Structure 1
Amino acid sequence: MEGQVLGNRYLLLEKIGGGGMAVVYKAKCNLLNRFVAIKILRSEFTNDEEFVKRFKVEAQAVASLSHPNVVSIYDVGHQDDIHYIVMEYVDGMTLKEFINKHGAINWQDAVKITIQICSAIEHAHKNNIVHRDIKPHNILLTKDGIAKVTDFGIARAVTSSTITMVGSTIGSVHYFSPEQARGGFIDEKSDLYSLGIALYEMVTGKVPFDGDTPVSVALKHIQEVPVEPHKHVPSLPYGVNEIIMKAIQKEQNLRYQSATSMINDLNRVLVQPQGGFVGVENFNGQSTIRMKPVNSPRNANESRNNEYNKNNDAKKEKKKNYVAYWIAGITSILVIALAIFMVISLFSKTIQPTYKMDNYVGREYEAVKIELEEKGFKITPTMKVSETVAKGIIIDQSIPPGTDYKSGNYTSLELTVSSGPKMSKVPEVKDREYREAQSEIEANNLKYKIEREFNEDVAADYVIRTEPAAGEEVEEGTEVTIYVSKGAKTQRIKVPNLVGKTELEAQKALADNKLQLGNIIPAGGKGIVNKQLPEAYTEVEEGESVTIWLTVEQAPATDTSQEPTLPTDTSGDGTETKDPADSTQSDVQTNNQNNNGTNVTN
């Protein structure tokens, strides 16, 4: 479902978890620009009114809660046949994943985590909500070590009818209480039993009851006394051992009667780990009464009457006990008969040998699917983006390699399959200005390069096409070539050789070749072309201009070398006097000098 948008708002990014009833996706809220977690009811349950109702109960239950150790609910809705809940996204892992990865947890850390969980349960109980499925799988741990309780999918408000649903036992078999296993009355103490089992697993790395079938595990919850956790972990403080054993008492009246009471002991054991303060709850106490003297003559008759009454009461009590024993015996027989019936129903068809689960990680999904279906497995593939694993290769499997299983249609296996790297569609940018096309390509997490070419139909600077083509799916980061128009292609012409020609001849030669005369240097001069730019025989586009340089024609100079030089007279007043002829000669020389530095116009 990755890539789908729910409620015109939530973009599904990737699957991050799942259970028997729903699948959880990481999503992006486009309205508030934040990550959220979306729980989607599995498709096989969308037509089951009971499951849909139970799914909605979760949203209603958690919506009334506001606590730092409870995952918040933001929204709830449905689209077509998809029912979903929008929740707070917690960046971390489940407590179960943490235990599987690291094994048993240091007892101080385990107690601190349990205090946070118990605080969330206390808040729920004060709002008259019993979770009914407390287990490490439903506890999220943030990277900062904060525990958050989630999955109130089978929670119910506390009423006189808070029991399991007819025909089915709700909860997870390794963690649910004896009363859940029997289908009996469930209250707040049932959550505390499950929390005690979770704490047992945290400090030992294993659950107290295990078996080959759910029925066998359920019977152990009802009948067997668990091995005390300090026998598995001798270094475990006795105070922690006492808290766990009190929390998982089979009789509800012998357990912690409230989450607050359990929190008090958990806080105390951190400073007094040797214990000795965990007491057994007593609910048969009587009020203080005034006793009369046993030997008073005045009370002799009264004493005899009391003795008579006591004997009668004893007979009645004995009779009552016989009835209670008979009822308890019949109840036990019915429970055992029901268990046997369930075992026979499950395993009477075929008795299959036990096999070891193979390791399918790294193998091609389609081949593995055929192999597993032949063995009777129900295969559920989940696609996951991977930058390093090729498309179609298995990344993970829900049943670890080496696990025992019995062949048959009752075994479900979820395979996580690589969908390859993230893909992106090449957007349609044809006939768009190339800078706009660049932005559109980048917005789709793609790179680009520009190639220019002539095109008769597309205006200059507009996109002709792309490679890969528009609509094609490619890996994110792929380079897309954008072909940009240079406009219509013009004819290329060789510039004629103009050197040695006059200005008029040069202009005619250029016109014959569909070129233009550009600048003339010096401006307005007349003469012969001695230089041109572009140079001769260079290819240029039609209509371009050519600049020319001219060698300007010079006027001949006058020869005055044979004319006599007249003496110069100086008047008595010091003024120099020149002959008129001398003045003319000087003017001629000056004129000749000017002619050497200026253009001559004929």
Structure 2
Amino acid sequence: MIGRILGNRYEIVEKIGGGGMALVYKAKCNLLNRYVAVKILRSEFTNDKDIIEKFKRESQAAASLSHPNIVNLYDVGEEEDIYYIVMEYVKGKTLKEVIKEKEILTLEEIINYTKQIALALQQAHYNHVIHRDIKPHNILITEDNRAKVTDFGIALAATSSTITNMGSVIGSVHYFSPEQARGGYTDEKSDLYSLGIVMYEMATGKVPFEGDSPISVALKHIQEEPVLPSEVNPQISKGLEEIILQLIQKDQASRYQNTQSLIEDLNKLKQSPDATYVGGPINHEDSPTQIIPRIKEEDIQVPGKKPQNKKKRRDKLLITSAVIAALIAALLFVFGLFYVSNIFRTEEVEVPNFVGMDIETARQQAVILELELSEETTHSKEVPIDEIIRQYTSPGMKVRPGATVKVLVSEGPRTVTVPDLRFEDETNVPYILENAGLEVGTPRYEFSDFPKGVIIEQNPRAGASAVEGTIVDYVVSQGPQEVTFPMPNLIGGTIENARNIIEQFQLQKGSERQEYNDEYPEGLVIDQSIAPGSMTRENALINLTVSRGPKPVQEPGEEDIELDIKEDEEDDQEDSINTSTTNTSTKNLRVELQGYTGLVSIRVRNVSSGEEVYNKNHDVSRDGETVMIPITGREGQEFELYINNKKHNKSIIL
């Protein structure tokens, strides 16, 4: 399959996953020059017409969903018995992999991921799409910690971890609801049950029900109560535990009834993590839903009345039939007289002007004039509802009684259903509203947790009826509000301290490059990509350069060091002192440091007095390889030279 091109545009690059029903490949879309994920139905299912039809139908339904927390479906195709779905390529890990790595997630992580999954389900349920297979394997976590739900409506094939009922797969055995296990009716609350099992696993690191076979696990979903999450993880929040337990109630009516209620409780939990009660099951014991047999008419007995026998019922039926036949005959007789009388009637009537008249008034006038009205309707913004717009028989025309006059009646302005703009890109709004017969309103921009440019609110609301041409206002997300602050100074501190500061200011740590440096000891930061004091924001990426200390070099042999003592002719009057009383002079010692790098320590010591007449560090890269050292003493005095604390084998005689 690698290297094959599907649909003349999707070039298969590599296999990236697979399940019981399909294999997933990374592919390059040669038309749009981007990577996509291609899910291909396994070959063993390509001869099953039921699975193929469901694969196509439900994949196309899922393709209509658009939400930041749903993996986008781009295309569905078929080619030489290869059935495939083209999806958004998401770089990251599955939630199952995250759970395996961390075992137990923090309360903040659980709330964050659950809210995003619930928002995705809310969008799907609003569009009447039930996922039926919510599990950590079908939830992708991107590198920026966004949860994206995949496999909407395509988990249809039977495997060792799924159950089939009447040819339809109803979920993965460790996560599906009791009604799925029984092959019963599934709805939005079935997805919420599965989400509760996912939350249980995030909070404890385990699924609540295990077994030797899929059937045994399915039976536990129906019959057994799970071990309390707090018994597996004593550190779990009480409020979180109560939300999980309400989600995984056996009875559908006792669970959360919709995703909005769940999201509201998650928001409360985030504000008060130590709350002792969040949500709570609904009590239906006072009026339980029951299935009762259909009550037949013969089962109803009126007190004091005996059942009729068959003969009496037959006689009553004959009498009723005779009465009905007589009535029909009478009606036909009356109609015949009316028709014949009209044939021989010669008087004509004048057609009135019905335009602008209310339809009810026109009907009454038509009866008086013995005319028939034929009514057609159409929408009109200008003409009020039920008012006649035009007539097809000219006013004043003479017609025989009983003639038909055709009129066009206004239904008033056309009403349309307001489309759902939420989570759509701002650039798509004018086209969506234009296609719906609505006008674009003035957008308002607000900061939010949703990506920049995504619609987060609208008025009128989605699904409402509105007159054609109604203005629709909407709110556009500007993305999260960025907080800026001065960049702290990391230079001169240890790399560990720099990492702590980066984490404290919620910055993103980038690369850590090491360089030799003579000024800063090993392990200290010597440079940062964002200058200290400059304004930056949270999540900004910062790269660091760390000192490796001075660059180690092999010291040159002493024969490589050139020593030359001479008087400075240009400054002889200032630097040279030669009197008969002191017999002292100052001369310059030239030291050549070819082969040395970085900082070099140079000391000169008077042998007779033991005094150090020179002691400095010389930066070769900055000051060059030649050093001029002034030495003052009496003629004939001996001096010793030390380079990097190593004595030179040649003494210096003035």
TM-score by length of 2: 0.42
Q: Which has the higher strand share?
A: 2
Q: Which has the higher helix share?
A: 1
- Of structures 1 and 2, the larger Rg is shown by 1
